[in-house]
Amino acid sequence: MIYEVFRQERKGQPFHHAGSLEATDQTFAEAYAKEFYGRRGESEALWVVPREAIIEVEDFADELNRNYHRVDGYSLREKLKEARERAGRALVARDR
């Protein structure tokens, strides 16, 4: 069975994918993972997960074009430029 190993370098940090290993059962998977990714104290913790238990999601269709909850839904640059110009003009008009 193939297991994927994720390792955490320091407490509080996210787990990153480290690599995979093949083991006949969980006990061996744990032992191999420790040998491969924790022997020199380089990991705080490991997640050892059977590859088949991982649900992979790669398709992020956005049929409704809901850009209001994405960064690219907000183009502040043009609006900010316009607002600054307006404020500048108002200042000049006031000082006159």
Could you tell me the strand order of the sheet in which 16-22 lies? 16-22, 2-8, 45-50
* 42 close to 90: Cβ distance less than 8 angstroms: no
SS (H, E, C) 60-79: CCCCCCCHHHCHHHCCHHHH
Stretch that binds other proteins, among 11-19, 60-68, 69-77, 83-91 (CB under 8 A): 11-19
Stretch that binds other proteins, among 25-33, 62-70, 71-79, 86-94 (CB under 8 A): 25-33
Nearer residue to other proteins within complex by CB, 50 or 88: 50
Binding site for other proteins (CB under 8 A): 1-2, 17-22, 24-25, 28, 32, 35-37, 39-40, 42, 56
